[in-house]
Amino acid sequence: MAPAVEEIGGWGRRPVRPGRVLRSERLALPASVAPVLPRGLGRAYGDAAVPASAESLVIETARANRILDFDPTSGRLTCEAGLSLAEIIRVFLPRGWFLPVTPGTKFVTVGGCVASDVHGKNHHREGTFGGFVERLRLWTADGMLVNAGPDVERELFLATVGGMGLTGLIVEVTFRLRRVESPWIVLDVRSVASLDEMVEGLRESSRDWIYTVGWIDCLARGSALGRGVLMRGRHASLDETRGLAPPRHRAFTVPCDAPEWLLNPIFMRLFNRLYHTRHAAIRKPRVVSCEQFFYPLDALHDWNRLYGARGFLQYQCVIPNSAGAAPVRSLLEKLAARGAASFLAVIKDFGPGSDAFLSFPLAGTTLSLDLPYRGQKTEMLVHELNAVVIQAGGRIYLAKDAVTRPEDFASMMKPRLEQWKAVRDRWDPHRRFRSAQSVRLFGDHA
Amino acid sequence: MKVVAVGATRGMGRALAQLLAERGARVFLLGRDPGELAVSARDLEARGAAVPVKTAVLDLATPAGFPAALDAADAALDRFDTLVVTGGLFARQEELAADPARLERMLHVNFTGTAVLCQMVAERLAGRGGGTICAFSSVAGDRSRRSNYLYGASKAGLSAVLDGLGQAYADRGVRVVCVRPGFVKTGMTAGLPVPPFAGEPESVASAVLAAMTAGRPVVYVPAIWRWVMLVIRALPRFVLRRLKF
């Protein structure tokens, strides 16, 4: 049955393009179909999982969700690539196992975590998701089922981790879960008055806390620039959680697209003020569930609709330690000057980067923002921010990008982009795997 | 719960078996493809089903093979108490209309095979004090429509069998649940345009498990399809004839 044509967008709902979607329990590469594009649960914000053209076949993997093997002594899990982190948590957290690395939503597939080489609040200590992967099985463009890992087909492995699904269709992943004593997190929150204090707070906390992250009030200017809240967390011990009832979670769904005026500067200013005051008032560490700590937004299904029909852009970059805090300050100043408030301005320190060619993190400070889409103006702002990032020797995160110019991305990723392209040339010389993002950034034809 | 599941390697059956496994149920898998059955068995074990999850081959098109498959399930589970049938065939109306052999096979599997299996299991369960039979019919069986009356007819027949079975065996402790899914996003419906009110297999699974526990004879999933079908059943024929769906 030839799939019907659908409109397909990223989580930021911008851009949206037509394509045919195959949702199958059995992940396979239909013979002589091109272009193809693997897609998980569609949480990449930009155009990474958006088809290159209307003729594209998007292979949605989330139906392939079986656990193939689990070793309860080592925590080694082998699963089909469409298994979601939400399911892993539901099945394994009650048994004392958690994800080695998790992004800010659990509604992503394991294959997606590999393809974006996701990072989390423990990057300063544990690195990216790809660092825990022992084996991948993927269908490559020539119709072969290939095993790849740190010790076998290493180049293909390094090109696939963080490779945005452009090296093949990942069908199976083997990686290690983390042993935890309880499903709870001890959370410590402190108010921070300036950017310097935030950066210093993150650095200091990295020694004793496995999870750290900062939230920044983007509307604060001058000496208050970088004002925010620093959150630190660690897995709670059994003793600390004795007698706690299993966490229960209520989720709400945003029923329709919100009007565009909803997230206006006044509303955001109020929200930021409230958020800051509320967290600043808490003095003592407290125990919260993993869901509350890692996935606060997952409690609001379809929250991307809050940005209205025009959608939004996410922007995440990293500034290397060698460049100091000045570029981070400059990015925040540009945002504040334009009144481009963001609900979720998140700051975090990264540890060393990985060997995977297109993996995003590198030792430095990362900044992540939501920008309501207001046409050319918003795109220009991204280019301005990119200029600061390039100057500082930093990079941007492909899982969030929708508008970066190819030449800008190339200068951020030198020489890794060339290495990645060389591996891609070997495995997919005819560019069977293509996305709207690869058309935009890597010169693939639509 | 000691569950025999037919067709649980895919779609709603898979989601329901996974949910049962996570609740610690004892599960036995029946289906056509031994390789797929083995992979699903390992999945259910990892999710918490009582170990080992055993399997046997059963084809709904071949009722002669049912007794042996059910015997194997009885032996593995020390007499099962629940049957879940999600297996079945599906094709678009135009595909069925153009291919009589395919049409015949679809009717045979969805109606004859499934009806024979449910009847056989009802007798087996009644003989040992009762149990639950949960079979997946479809909203398509509620009212014939030009766009899917062939598939719908197979499910209308099945709904009738399940309704009667529930009445006939109630006194002997057998509860029968007829599940009527509306559009659910599974491999079966892959490629079809997704209509409003489409459901996900995971939410269907929780709703079906709740209905099985409560012993509700008919359950629509997603629940809104109950009201959608109420309207469609009430439409006069001359109106329905003009509708394209």
Collect all residues with Cβ–Cβ distance below 8 Å to A422 and sequence separation of at least 6.
Answer: none
Give the gap in angstroms from C-alpha A50 to the nearest C-alpha of chain B.
17
Q: B190 and A69: CB-CB below 8 Å?
A: no
Say how far apart CA A396 and CA A392 lie, in whole Å: 12
Q: A66 and B40: CB-CB below 8 Å?
A: yes
The reported pLDDT for the residue numbered A65 is 97
Environment class of B38 (CB within 10 Å of its CB; exposed 0-12, middle 13-18, buried 19+)? middle
CB A133 within 8 A of CB A175: yes
Environment class of A238 (CB within 10 Å of its CB; exposed 0-12, middle 13-18, buried 19+)? exposed
Contact residues, chain B, for A22 at CB < 8 Å: 190-191
Contact residues, chain A, for B185 at CB < 8 Å: 23
Environment class of A223 (CB within 10 Å of its CB; exposed 0-12, middle 13-18, buried 19+)? exposed
- Residue of chain A whose alpha carbon sits nearest to that of B193: A4
Q: B46 and A69: CB-CB below 8 Å?
A: yes
For the entire predicted model, the pTM comes to: 0.94
The reported pLDDT for the residue numbered A344 is 66
Collect all residues with Cβ–Cβ distance below 8 Å to A228 and sequence separation of at least 6.
Answer: A191, A192, A198, A214, A215, A216, A217, A276, A345, A347
The reported pLDDT for the residue numbered A341 is 62
Q: B190 and A22: CB-CB below 8 Å?
A: yes
**Among A25, A68, A69, whose Cβ lies nearest the Cβ of B187?**
A25
**Among B43, B92, B190, whose Cβ lies nearest the Cβ of A23?**
B190
Would residue B2 be called left, alpha or beta, if left means φ above 0 and alpha means ψ between -120 and 50 degrees? beta
Q: B43 and A1: CB-CB below 8 Å?
A: no
Contact residues, chain A, for B190 at CB < 8 Å: 1, 3, 22-24
Say how far apart CA A197 and CA A347 lie, in whole Å: 12
Alpha helix ranges (H) inside A108-227: 110-115, 123-126, 154-160, 195-208
Catalogue the E-assigned strands of B7-112: 26-31, 54-57, 82-85
**Active site includes B151?**
yes
The reported pLDDT for the residue numbered A340 is 61
Give the gap in angstroms from C-alpha A307 to the nearest C-alpha of chain B.
23
Contact residues, chain B, for A90 at CB < 8 Å: 22
- Mean pLDDT in residue range B158-182: 98
> B167: domain range?
2-242
Q: B22 and A91: CB-CB below 8 Å?
A: yes
3-class DSSP state of A199: helix
Residue-wise pLDDT tens digits, A42-85:
999 999 999 999 999 999 999 999 999 999 999 999 999 999 99
Residue-wise pLDDT tens digits, A190-199:
999 999 999 9
Whether this model's ipTM surpasses 0.85 comes out as yes
Neighbouring-strand partners of residue A192: A228
CATH of residue B197's domain is 3.40.50.720
DSSP code for A38: E
Give the gap in angstroms from C-alpha A204 to the nearest C-alpha of chain B.
40
Written out in words, the top-level CATH class of the domain with range A67-179 is alpha beta
Q: B186 and A63: CB-CB below 8 Å?
A: yes
Count Cβ atoms below 10 Å from residue B182 Cβ, excluding itself: 23
Residue in B62, B68, B59, B80 with CA at minimum distance from that of residue B2? B80
- Residue of chain B whose alpha carbon sits nearest to that of A68: B43
Residue-wise pLDDT tens digits, A89-131:
999 999 999 999 999 999 999 999 999 999 999 999 999 999 9
* Residue A165 CA, distance from chain mean position: 14
* Helix/strand/coil (H/E/C) assignment for every residue in A143-162: CCEEEEECCECHHHHHHHCC
Say how far apart CA B106 and CA B117 lie, in whole Å: 16
Q: Which amino acid is at B10?
A: R
**Among A6, A23, A67, whose Cβ lies nearest the Cβ of B187?**
A23
- Residue of chain A whose alpha carbon sits nearest to that of B95: A1
Q: How much helix, strand and coil, in percent to the nearest 5, is found in chain A?
A: 30, 25, 40
Residue in A351, A440, A436, A433 with CA at minimum distance from that of residue A163? A433
Count Cβ atoms below 10 Å from residue B233 Cβ, excluding itself: 11
Residue-wise pLDDT tens digits, B185-221:
887 887 777 888 888 999 999 999 999 999 999 999 9
Indicate the CATH number for domain A184-241+249-409. 3.30.70.2520
Task: Please report the number of interchain residue pairs, chain A to chain B, with beta-carbon separation below 8 angstroms.
Answer: 49
The reported pLDDT for the residue numbered A343 is 62
Collect all residues with Cβ–Cβ distance below 8 Å to B196 and sequence separation of at least 6.
Answer: none
Q: Which amino acid is at A170?
A: I
CB B70 within 8 A of CB B127: no
**Among A25, A67, A69, whose Cβ lies nearest the Cβ of B10?**
A25
DSSP for A248-287 reads ----EE--SPPPTTTT-HHHHHHHHHHHHHHHHT--S-EE
CB A416 within 8 A of CB A358: yes
Q: A66 and B191: CB-CB below 8 Å?
A: no
Q: Into how many domains does chain B fold?
A: 1
Compute φ and ψ for A225, nearest 5 degrees.
-55, 130
* Residue A288 CA, distance from chain mean position: 22
Higher pLDDT pick, B64 / A241: B64
Q: Which helix (H) or strand (E) holds A421?
A: helix A416-427
Mean pLDDT for all residues in chain B = 95
Q: A90 and B92: CB-CB below 8 Å?
A: no
Q: B191 and A3: CB-CB below 8 Å?
A: yes
* Angle at B124 (CA atoms; ends B122, B126), nearest 5 degrees: 65
- Residue of chain B whose alpha carbon sits nearest to that of A79: B43
Residue-wise pLDDT tens digits, B128-150:
999 999 999 999 999 999 999 99
Show the low-confidence residues of chain A (pLDDT under 50). none
* Active-site choice (B149, B151, B169, B220): B151
Q: Which candidate in A22, A23, A71 is best for mutational testing of the B interface (most B CBs within 10 A)?
A: A23
Compute φ and ψ for B37, nearest 5 degrees.
-60, -40
Count Cβ atoms below 10 Å from residue B67 Cβ, excluding itself: 11
